[in-house]
Structure 1
């Protein structure tokens, strides 16, 4: 049975959704503000201590939070459960970006830094927060495959493909943390800071499929294209995104 329907132009947001969208917008503004700080303060853009981290993490977490708030509205999950998961996800995003931003201002690495008790506490809180993110996003991903998502033509495929690729981002992120912790525990602190470089492209590319693909489906719903055309375009977009992820994965395998 076809569960597709026109994507809604307007709808009333729940308090949890408004909170998440507002929080996501604040995180994006924080990222952009630190881009200005980088322009004024200078310093290296790459490396474990740079303004790049509060910029990229603020933008990525903010966009992901807003995207998840929107995309999960197409999932067949209970409203109360979804609201709870979204609020916890929003709080976790603030924790992650806040910890990273704090350490950037302190001019010390945010991840894998065990130099002092305070730095260790920040690193561990970021690691725990990352684990919470994995659990929450996995729950949403499983929900997208257990019951066919709703939405306009192409949206169910976009949502499922977006979450499937997002799982790749979670796996690559976990791999980066695991490798860095092993190197840190074995006394190779400097090597730990640079050990994640190979997986960063894969992590970055796969992180935002859950926004890009559903956004394409939403845009096509505003056209006069026939449903068959929309479906073909979406299959092509999923295939193109898969190629991009595989290419980033191959590069990571060769350089990891």
Structure 2
């Protein structure tokens, strides 16, 4: 994003360190999946640590890459990203601790200790979200960076932060839990991933997403990883600009493509959220969901066709390739 080789060489060390630890933890979790036959809430005990390690590792590397090119508010961005790294590490400590104990890391209020862990995780997520917002603002105010990657990062951050917020839908009591609370009971769990069915039922391999009901983890996951998808699209467009300058050489063309893709991605996250809230499994969409998905696909494809219409002036070299 920047032409400064000095700045471009500076990776945010706490985030890189976090990514390295998440890589090691992923290997540990994979070993755990192979040798530990315990299950927690119907899923293998080490599945959640594995998924979170991969997700947080990717998130940390993405932030570290984006921060390489920050000139304005550099110190603010550095400290905010350090808070992100610390909060992410704290979240993983809680998840691994509960996996070792054989207890759910989310929604578990069965004992005072479990309730404390869950409460601390909720507070940590809010810190993580706020610090990520600060990093997003710092990246957004840069002016001497590639405009296409900058736009992709801004839109990716917006969708990622929205995806994080979708996680709070899972913390609401289910109908059964609400009835128990209203009757003066003390349910062991408050909140759930699934909608319309109990957590721990039949699920998809690898992801653990429900195959019999809605699952709010799906839009949560999709939204968060927009921060990887959209900047990656910007880099792909840079490659296309170098290979097909007449079509993708103009910055305005690539900007239009990124914006259309971001709008389509937002529509997808909204569609996945709507599907999950209706208690509908991802792989068993009804006619209304299929019709909506088809309409979204048509609109996005039409938008992309309009975005690349005409011929752009050739360029000699892509700024993104220079700076990636």
TM-score range, shorter chain: 0.7 to 0.9
Partner of 2:61: 66
Partner of 1:203: 220
Partner of 1:245: 269
- Separation (CA, whole Å) in 2 of partners of 1:253 and 1:38: 30
1:23 matched to 2:18:
yes
Q: C-alpha displacement at 1:39, in angstroms?
A: 2.5
Measured against aligned partners, the alpha-carbon deviations of 1:66-98 in whole angstroms (never above 9, x if no partner) come to: 212222445564111111111111011111011
Q: Over the residues paired in the alignment, what is the CA RMSD in angstroms?
A: 3.2
Q: List aligned pairs for 1:158-237, cutoff 5 A.
A: 158-179=152-173, 183=177, 186=181, 187-190=186-189, 192-195=191-194, 198-223=215-240, 224=242, 225=245, 226-228=249-251, 229-237=253-261
Q: C-alpha displacement at 1:200, in angstroms?
A: 0.8
- Separation (CA, whole Å) in 2 of partners of 1:219 and 1:150: 20
Instruction: Specify every segment of 5 or more residues in structure 2 that has no aligned partner in the other structure, as ranges.
Output: 196-213, 281-324
Change (3 A) 1:248 1:28: farther
Tell me which protein shows more helix as a share of its residues.
1
Greater RCO, 1 or 2 (C-alpha within 8 Å, sep 6+): 1
> What SS is found at the alignment partner of 1:154?
helix
Measured against aligned partners, the alpha-carbon deviations of 1:178-206 in whole angstroms (never above 9, x if no partner) come to: 447x9489233356345576311110000
Change (3 A) 1:153 1:193: closer
Change (3 A) 1:46 1:32: farther
- Separation (CA, whole Å) in 2 of partners of 1:155 and 1:7: 16
Aligned with 1:126 (options 121, 129, 136) = 121
TM-score normalised by structure 1 residue count: 0.82
- Assess if the C-alpha contact under 8 Å between 2:133 and 2:161 holds in 1: yes
Change (3 A) 1:25 1:46: farther
- Separation (CA, whole Å) in 2 of partners of 1:5 and 1:20: 20
Largest Rg, 1 or 2: 2
Q: C-alpha displacement at 1:170, in angstroms?
A: 2.1
Give aligned pairs, total.
Answer: 249
> What SS is found at the alignment partner of 1:127?
helix
Partner of 1:12: 9
- Separation (CA, whole Å) in 2 of partners of 1:69 and 1:5: 14
- Separation (CA, whole Å) in 2 of partners of 1:117 and 1:211: 38
Measured against aligned partners, the alpha-carbon deviations of 1:35-78 in whole angstroms (never above 9, x if no partner) come to: 23212334558747732110111111111112122224455641
- Separation (CA, whole Å) in 2 of partners of 1:163 and 1:132: 16
Instruction: Specify every segment of 5 or more residues in structure 1 that has no aligned partner in the other structure, as ranges.
Output: none
